[in-house]
């Protein structure tokens, strides 16, 4: 007889030998030492992170007490780990499998803050910020999006930077800035009034003229503290200009990489959906038997697993392209759009499988459904990423 499981208890599920959601064994493509490291990361995240984050999600609070644990497992310095691109991607997927909000923090931290500073900052800036960032003792945020400019930010960016005798004056507003309520600094993109070029600056968020306001009542990604940031003639020294971020072109590389990271999130959330839906189907009885015995439920589980496997397969090839230096924006846009579309379908199937219980966050299925909607929208909406692919395959732009 199939063992009955409590779907809220990850240890019980771990003790039963079912096929892993990575049914085609993508992780086995890693060298043995990276396989071991990934197994340890999975066990840590499932045992110590996933069981405790639900209440934070319900309350829209950030679990600061978990940051040292994440740092202890190297998640603050993935970009310095020397690991393969495939390992990094699977690590992002595993964090997402435990919680999507924390995976957003880990991804933004590594791909858009740490990596940008490592690639584009001055030596002094690196020495000031990178040691603390690597251990999550310091947190930065990436401030590009504005209240009136999201998808059109490259041409519409309105925040300004004015050169003065003592440095720069930053004026403007940013919106949807992940971690902006508690970050130590923001990497702020502003338009130089002298030549109209977009430049990147380090702006410490305790400076006079900076206002931070939490964006509340979000349907998903509720642990991530998104913020409205306002810069009212904020004065910063000249050395806060990031020398390698003197134009928007340099930033595009980071945005391309971050869309690949969201592709890994899309794969990871589907692994989580499959895990929770399967556990629920095995534990929930109706008509005198587990609903896992019903044909419709098995078809839904197979479809979720198929979506997850397709997403993992795409991302595995993206890791290869990144290693070979052949990765470009249309590739990133394709996997971001496709992966999040499949994740949205998988999340709907999983929540539906939960019936009435599926709307309760304690079973995680509704939490995953809400978080999937955010993945579908951020880092370039599904529609915008689709148009980037369309432009690449037709040679005709639909944006203008």
pLDDT surpasses 80 at 366: yes
- CA distances from residue 191 to 164, 168, 170, 254 in whole angstroms, order as listed: 15, 12, 9, 18
For the stretch 7-66, pLDDT in tens is: 445 454 555 578 899 999 999 999 999 999 999 999 999 999 999 999 999 999 999 999
Find the radius of gyration of the CA atoms of the chain: 21
Residue 106 has pLDDT above 90, yes or no: yes
| Residue 174, beta-bridge partner list | 229
Per residue in 296-351, pLDDT tens? 999 999 999 999 999 999 999 999 999 999 999 999 999 999 999 999 999 999 99
The topology (CATH level 3) of 26-135 is: Butyryl-Coa Dehydrogenase, subunit A; domain 1 (1.10.540)
Q: For a pLDDT cut of 90, what percent of the chain falls above it?
A: 86
Q: Are 102 and 145 in contact (CB under 8 A)?
A: no
Q: CB burial class (10 A; 0-12, 13-18, 19+) of residue 203?
A: buried
- Residue 64, judged by CB atoms within 10 A of its CB (0-12, 13-18, 19+), counts as exposed
CATH of domain 140-247: 2.40.110.10
Contact 180, 140 (CB under 8 A): no
Query: What region does 355 belong to: left with phi over 0, alpha with psi -120 to 50, or beta?
Result: left
Half-sphere exposure in the Cβ direction for 214 (13 Å, CA): 13
Average pLDDT over residues 192-217: 96
In 3-state terms, what secondary structure has residue 79? helix
Contact predicate 337/382, CB 8 Å: yes
Q: Are strands 167-178 and 226-237 parallel, antiparallel or unpaired?
A: antiparallel
Cα of 187 vs its chain's centroid, Å: 17
Residue 148: φ, ψ to 5°: -105, 5
- Please report the DSSP string for 32-57 in residue order: HHHHHHHHHHHHHIIIIIHHHHHHHH
Q: Provide φ and ψ at 382, rounded to 5°.
A: -55, -45
- Which has the closest alpha carbon to 332: 281, 247, 249, 264? 264
Q: Which of 5, 74, 37 is nearest to 290 (CA)?
A: 5
Domain residue ranges in the chain: 26-135, 140-247, 250-394
Instruction: Report pLDDT for 4.
Output: 46
Q: Which of 44, 140, 139 is nearest to 91 (CA)?
A: 44
What is the distance in angstroms between the CA of the first residue and the CA of the last residue of the chain?
A: 61
- Estimate to the nearest angstrom the gap between the alpha carbon of 359 and the chain centroid: 24
The answer to which of 57-66, 119-128, 203-212, 255-264 has the lowest mean pLDDT is 255-264
pLDDT at residue 360 is higher than 70: yes
Percentage of the chain modeled with pLDDT above 70: 96
Class assignment of domain 250-394? mainly alpha
Q: What's the Cα-to-Cα distance from 325 to each of 225, 300, 318, 321, rounded to whole Å? A: 34, 38, 10, 6
Instruction: Provide the phi-psi class of 83: left if phi over 0, else alpha when psi is between -120 and 50, else beta.
Output: beta
Task: Please indicate whether the domains covering 26-135 and 250-394 agree at the CATH topology level.
Answer: no
Rounded to two decimals, the pTM is 0.92
| Local confidence band at 259 (pLDDT 50, 70, 90 cut-offs) | confident
Dist CA 109 CA 102 (whole Å): 10
Element (H, E) at 173: strand 167-178
Contact predicate 210/234, CB 8 Å:
yes
pLDDT of 290: 94
What are the φ/ψ torsions at residue 83 (nearest 5 degrees)? -75, 160
Residue 230 above 90 pLDDT? Answer: yes
Residue 257 contacts residue 111 (beta carbons within 8 Å): yes
Rounded CA separation 185/332 (Å): 27
């Amino acid at each position: 007889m199939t063992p009955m499981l409590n779907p809220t208890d990850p240890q019980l599920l771990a003790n039963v030998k079912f096929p892993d959601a990575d049914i085609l064994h993508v992780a086995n493509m890693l060298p043995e030492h990276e396989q071991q490291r990934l197994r340890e990361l999975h066990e840590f995240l499932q045992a110590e992170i996933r069981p405790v984050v639900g209440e934070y999600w319900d309350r829209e609070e950030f679990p600061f007490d978990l940051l040292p644990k994440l740092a202890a497992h190297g998640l603050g310095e993935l970009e310095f780990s020397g690991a393969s691109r495939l390992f990094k991607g699977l690590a992002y997927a595993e964090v997402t499998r435990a919680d999507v909000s924390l995976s957003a923090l880990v991804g933004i931290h590594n791909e858009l803050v740490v990596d940008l500073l490592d690639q584009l900052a001055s030596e002094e800036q690196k020495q000031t910020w990178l040691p603390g960032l690597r251990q999550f003792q310091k947190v930065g945020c990436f401030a590009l999006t504005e209240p009136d400019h999201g998808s059109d930010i490259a041409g519409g960016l309105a925040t300004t930077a004015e050169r003065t005798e003592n440095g720069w004056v930053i004026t403007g507003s940013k919106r949807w800035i992940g971690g902006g309520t508690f970050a130590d600094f923001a990497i702020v993109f502003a338009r130089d009034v002298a030549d109209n070029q977009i430049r990147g600056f380090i702006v410490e968020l305790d400076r006079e003229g900076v206002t931070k306001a939490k964006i509340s009542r979000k349907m998903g990604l509720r642990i991530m503290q998104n913020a409205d940031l306002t810069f009212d003639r904020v004065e910063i020294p000249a050395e806060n200009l990031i020398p390698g971020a003197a134009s928007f072109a340099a930033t595009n590389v980071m945005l391309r990489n971050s869309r690949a990271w969201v592709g890994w999130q899309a794969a990871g959330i589907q692994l989580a959906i499959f895990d929770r839906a399967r556990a629920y189907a095995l534990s929930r009885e109706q008509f005198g038997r587990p609903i896992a015995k019903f044909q419709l439920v098995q078809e839904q589980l197979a479809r979720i697993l198929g979506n997850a496997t397709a997403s993992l397969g795409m991302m595995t090839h993206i890791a290869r392209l990144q290693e070979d230096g052949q990765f470009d924006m249309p590739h990133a846009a394709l996997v971001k759009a496709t992966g999040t579309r499949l994740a949205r379908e998988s999340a709907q199937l999983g929540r539906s499988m939960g019936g009435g219980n599926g709307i309760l966050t304690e079973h995680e299925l509704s939490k995953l459904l809400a978080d999937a909607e955010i993945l579908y929208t951020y880092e370039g909406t599904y529609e915008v990423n689709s148009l980037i692919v369309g432009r690449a395959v037709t040679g005709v732009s639909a944006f203008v």
